[in-house]
Structure 1
Amino acid sequence: MAHSALATPRATIAVLKRHGLATKKSLGQHFLIDDNVIGRILTLAAIEPTQRVLEVGPGIGTLTLALCEAAGSVVAVERDTDLLAVLAETTAQYSNLMVINADAVQLDPRELVGEDGPPVAFVANLPYAVAATLVLRVFETMPSIRSATVMVQAEVADRMAASPGTKDYGAYTVKLALRARPAGRFNVPPGCFLPPPRVDSAVLRLERLDDDRTPEDVARATRAADAAFSQRRKTIRNSLSSALGAPASAVEDALRSAGVEPGLRAETLPVETFVKLGSELHAQGLLP
């Protein structure tokens, strides 16, 4: 049995023609046309039948149909007003779906709350242009979200799950890793979409961390990472000194107190070190 009746080229083209629509490159629209991928997304997401799920960029409703079957309720955020009528048609049989016409990056999380509470899982084939920003924002501003299973560009998935010392490891990786950990991935080739994107894609599952870091610890580590990676090719001492407008000697004292050799580069440091560094920079008055 198909997971989604829309996950074929024929069905997708028929819906778009019926509504006189075409894909919009400006919105990063690539419609999923492989039902096997839908099934793998559902397996990786491990949605429970009582959960409220957030979807961003539902498009014509291809993944939405499967989510409505699997979840207790779904709240889907769609920016493209031309697709609202399409969604109303393709998902008409589901009473557990709420569609919001908005830019998800700007949306107040309180608008996502339903009678069954806020969403606890985030599952989406994301618009590529905003994927990285949106995933981090969800973990920053929506504490109810326990996991995210998202389709993104493969290179973005690489950044999200990168290890210290690799080219993909950067400030974004650190900021996301302060809040969530990778918990599964599979790659998706361009031929699974209409139209095919010019890049490879991947579905990545992230799970929220439950640890003893305070919000202040995370905020300071975030600021420390931004400053440390502001000039990636410089030593961490010089990069921090420049970004913070602080004397190199004061920065060096903070680095040594955090157990960091000042001559290292930021990409060599594990996430936990940025927590210590943020704390030390704050203690010495170099960070708020």
Structure 2
Amino acid sequence: MNAIPQDLEGTPARMTQHSHERAHLPLTGDGPAAADLLAEAGFDARTDLGQHFLRSKNAAHRLLDCAELPDRAQVLEVGAGLGTLSGAVAETGRRIWAVEKDRRLGGILQDALRRFGPQARVSISDVREVDLDGGLTPGAVLLAIMPFDWELSAVLTRHVFASTPKVERGLVVLPSRVLEQYQATGEAAGGLRLREVDGISRSEFWPKAPEALRVVSIERLR
């Protein structure tokens, strides 16, 4: 079995079991019902992080279709959670860098991506505290379900594009208010163009999203 690489903070794979024990979660990171298993286990989703977990692999594959990823693109996922979307990316043969702040989910995320070996990089950290520019290759794509706290979502989206020119574009799930905020300040707000390309049901997530969501394409203006 391939060993998963250490994250930026040096958390090795041997911590996986302990991570599960701290979170009191089932030892699973795979399958379309992973989010439902969290709910059944009584997991306390953090509202301060805007946490909501994708329930369906079918929804993950639909997001990949919308993203139209270049064949050799490196993908950055912010708030990787249970690895549902990260795993779908890795299954296509592309490299994925999965960044997740909540240490309680570290073991589950590592387990979900372990089989992909060095193709899947896991960092358990706030994305604002990692060296994105040093860890990404030119032409990288942001693919993420952003926090459903609309202000935090806007902050993190801006941060990724401001911290490295290597991320050229992205596809993200955002609360509708974030898209409306960008539209209200002009199409080129912050040097980015945001465009709605699809919708997604609030019920695709656990806990259910509190407001309408948008699947949004982000392009860096040159």
Fold shared by both chains (TM-score > 0.5): yes
Distance 1:209 1:119 in 2: 14
Give the structure-2-normalised TM-score: 0.76
Residue 127 of structure 2: aligned partner:
104
Give the structure-1-normalised TM-score: 0.60
1:37 aligns with 2:51: no
| Shift of residue 189, structure 1, vs aligned partner | 2.4
Equivalent residues of 2:52, 2:208 under 8 A apart: yes
Residue 257 of structure 1: aligned partner:
none
Q: What RMSD, in angstroms, separates the aligned Cα atoms of the two structures? A: 2.4
1:138 aligns with 2:160: yes
Instruction: Provide runs of 4+ in structure 1 moved above 4 Å.
Output: 15-18
Distance 2:138 2:45 in 1: 31
Residue 204 of structure 1: aligned partner:
216
Query: Which consecutive residues of structure 2, in runs of 5 or more, have no partner in the other structure?
Result: 1-28
Aligned-partner residue type, residue 108 of structure 2 = V
Aligned-partner residue type, residue 123 of structure 2 = I
| Shift of residue 69, structure 1, vs aligned partner | 1.7
Q: How many residues align?
A: 191
Residue 271 of structure 1: aligned partner:
none
1:157 aligns with 2:183: no
Aligned-partner residue type, residue 149 of structure 1 = L
1:194 aligns with 2:206: yes
| Shift of residue 204, structure 1, vs aligned partner | 0.1
Identity among equivalent pairs (%): 26
Equivalent residues of 1:184, 1:204 under 8 A apart: yes
Distance 1:40 1:57 in 2: 18
Aligned-partner residue type, residue 80 of structure 2 = P
Structure with the bigger percentage of strand = 2
Query: Which consecutive residues of structure 1, in runs of 5 or more, have no partner in the other structure?
Result: 163-168, 211-288
| Shift of residue 17, structure 1, vs aligned partner | 5.8
The structure whose RCO (Cα within 8 Å, separation 6+) is larger is 2
My pick for the range that moved more, 139-148 or 35-44, is 35-44
Match runs of 1:181-260 below 5 Å = 181-210=193-222
Distance 2:188 2:220 in 1: 14
